[in-house]
A and B are shown apart, each in its own frame.
Chain A
Amino acid sequence: MFHLIKRNRQQSNDSRGAWPLGRLETAVMEILWARGEGRVHEVARGLDRRLAYTTVMTTLDRLFKKGLLDRAKQKRAFVYAPRMSRQEWERRRAGELVAGFLNGPEPSREMLLSCFLEAVGAQDAPLLDELERKIRMKRKEISRQGGQ
């Protein structure tokens, strides 16, 4: 059991600003979020492409140093486990992204807001199309009534 193992309390470099993940790092995290914990060869087996043992080991070590994983030694091999749930990680990442923009200069704040508004606007586009269609129909109805 993971909790019975003497944990390696080596403090990871908690470089929280380095949370944006590469494709392989994301895939590794997905496996560990799904499994709860895993050794290097277990993670390597879970990947959808064959990668060298050392590549996966380096990736796990990098994630540990980024502060995203905990690790504990068990029979001369490290067992890795996520330090936070996927939901918590996404929430923190979104928070950092927004805070980065809001702490930045005025134009970057405005850019962030305008991106949000554009996204909302894009979502509403079908509704506005539908409303425009109704308006066109009503105009036709009025002009027909005027012609009679």
Chain B
Amino acid sequence: MNSSYALRLTCLCFASFFLVHTALGVVAAACAPLVGRLAGGMRARSAALLLLGVRLAPACLAVTAVVGLCVPSYLWFEPETAGERVGIACIAAALLGGLAWATSFVRVYRGIAGSRRYARGRGGVDGTARVSGDLSPVRVVEEPAPVLLLCGVFRSRIIISRSILSGLPPEQLDAALRHEQAHRSSRDNFKRLLMLLSPSLVPFSRGFAALERSWEKAAEWAADDAATGGDEVRAVSLAAALVRVARMGVNPDPPLVASLTAGGRGLEARVDRLLRPRPLPEQPGRSFHTAVGAAVLAGSCVVAGVFLAPAALSSIHRLLELLLR
């Protein structure tokens, strides 16, 4: 593969990504209010999953389209000897695509660096605590400000300040730790990282901010549900812990961190929700998840079969030729 051929392919990849991602992103952003309403009627955990899926879908589908369709059709149908020139529109789209990824990587780098700085800057004593029957890594920090959060993406640990340890009664502390453990179990910080990595609608814009806010809310509610497990007394303890920690002072959350009070956002709604009598959340059976997974896999195979047919790839190549000019 000569260099100009590879350069054209790279240019096409970024340009196709930008176009497909923008088109899907506009649809996702337009659907955000509808998805939000739909999520409002679902269990918090399912709602969080749906919102995360809609947020990540444009980037995932655009990458799939580029890797699964554009690259094979180009390699298959474009002769290496063809010396085509790349048009201005294609270069502009490629630059915007590249910029979208560059800003995403910068966001991820800043998020990870900020999270590490936050954890390292506090020092403290590492240990483990038994929360919800599991041993969880916990770091106790000597800090006057109230700190109770889950920090870190891959090796996340709960960071708790002495002021919280001494300020919360045991049952409230247990409920609060269960909440953080729930964030840990559902890998919410990793999901935050994926959202940072997934490009914005337009570089430097916050086109998916509504979806991300809705996800944050649903993730907090899901962690509350998991922490209380339908137990009314534990729900009241968690509500009391939220109010008590909020009274100690609410700090803005660093990136890639799940804190108990979530920076004070939606505190009233969370407390009201915890105090409202609710039926035990239904756990969908394993068979349901298996059925959904199998349906998605089967659908993907059918779509891949259709699109990877020589005729379809040839049509895609014609489209790419148009884009390249």
- Report which A residues bind B (CB closer than 8 A): 114, 117-118, 120-121, 124, 127-128, 131-132, 134-135, 138-139, 142
A127→B268 CA distance, assembly (Å): 8
- With a cutoff of 8 Å between Cβ atoms, the chain B residues found around residue A142 in the complex are 232-233, 236
Q: Are A118 and B233 in contact (CB under 8 A)?
A: no
Q: Are B264 and A124 in contact (CB under 8 A)?
A: yes
Q: Name the residue on A nearest B275 (C-beta).
A: A138
Q: Are A131 and B239 in contact (CB under 8 A)?
A: yes
Q: Are B264 and A134 in contact (CB under 8 A)?
A: no
- With a cutoff of 8 Å between Cβ atoms, the chain B residues found around residue A131 in the complex are 239, 243, 267-268, 271
Q: Name the residue on A nearest B144 (C-beta).
A: A114
A132→B239 CA distance, assembly (Å): 9
A66→B250 CA distance, assembly (Å): 39
Q: List B205-254 residues whose CB lies under 8 Å from chain A.
A: 232-233, 236, 239-240, 243, 246-247, 249-251
- With a cutoff of 8 Å between Cβ atoms, the chain B residues found around residue A117 in the complex are 249-251
- Report which B residues bind A (CB closer than 8 A): 232-233, 236, 239-240, 243, 246-247, 249-251, 264, 267-268, 271-272, 275
Q: Are A135 and B243 in contact (CB under 8 A)?
A: yes
- With a cutoff of 8 Å between Cβ atoms, the chain B residues found around residue A127 in the complex are 267-268
A132→B264 CA distance, assembly (Å): 15
Contact A118:B249 (CB < 8 A) given known A131-B243, A134-B271: yes
Minimum CB–CB distance from A141 to chain B (whole Å) comes to 9
Q: Are B246 and A135 in contact (CB under 8 A)?
A: no
- With a cutoff of 8 Å between Cβ atoms, the chain A residues found around residue B240 in the complex are 132, 135
Q: Are A132 and B232 in contact (CB under 8 A)?
A: no
Contact A134:B251 (CB < 8 A) given known A124-B246, A128-B246, A142-B236: no
Partner of A121, one of B232, B249, B271, B275: B249
Contact A132:B243 (CB < 8 A) given known A124-B264, A127-B268: yes
Q: Are B239 and A135 in contact (CB under 8 A)?
A: yes
Given contacts A131-B271, A142-B236, 7 further A-B contacts (CB under 8 A): A117-B249, A118-B249, A124-B250, A128-B243, A131-B239, A135-B236, A142-B233
Minimum CB–CB distance from B55 to chain A (whole Å) comes to 29
Minimum CB–CB distance from A74 to chain B (whole Å) comes to 50
- With a cutoff of 8 Å between Cβ atoms, the chain A residues found around residue B250 in the complex are 117, 120-121, 124
A128→B242 CA distance, assembly (Å): 10
Partner of B236, one of A118, A120, A128, A138: A138
User: Which one of A117, A118, A135 has the highest number of Cβ atoms from chain B below 10 Å of its Cβ?
Assistant: A135
Contact A139:B251 (CB < 8 A) given known A124-B264, A131-B268, A131-B271: no
A135→B240 CA distance, assembly (Å): 7
A124→B275 CA distance, assembly (Å): 20
A127→B264 CA distance, assembly (Å): 12
Q: Are A134 and B249 in contact (CB under 8 A)?
A: no
Please name 26 pairs of A and B residues whose Cβ atoms are closer than 8 Å in the assembled complex, sorted by A: A117-B249, A117-B250, A117-B251, A118-B249, A120-B250, A120-B264, A121-B249, A124-B246, A124-B250, A124-B264, A127-B267, A127-B268, A128-B243, A128-B247, A131-B239, A131-B243, A132-B240, A134-B275, A135-B236, A135-B240, A135-B243, A138-B236, A138-B239, A138-B275, A142-B233, A142-B236
Minimum CB–CB distance from A78 to chain B (whole Å) comes to 49
Q: Name the residue on B nearest A118 (C-beta).
A: B249
- With a cutoff of 8 Å between Cβ atoms, the chain A residues found around residue B267 in the complex are 127, 131
Minimum CB–CB distance from B92 to chain A (whole Å) comes to 37
A132→B267 CA distance, assembly (Å): 12
Minimum CB–CB distance from A23 to chain B (whole Å) comes to 34
- With a cutoff of 8 Å between Cβ atoms, the chain B residues found around residue A139 in the complex are 236
Minimum CB–CB distance from B239 to chain A (whole Å) comes to 5
- With a cutoff of 8 Å between Cβ atoms, the chain B residues found around residue A134 in the complex are 271-272, 275
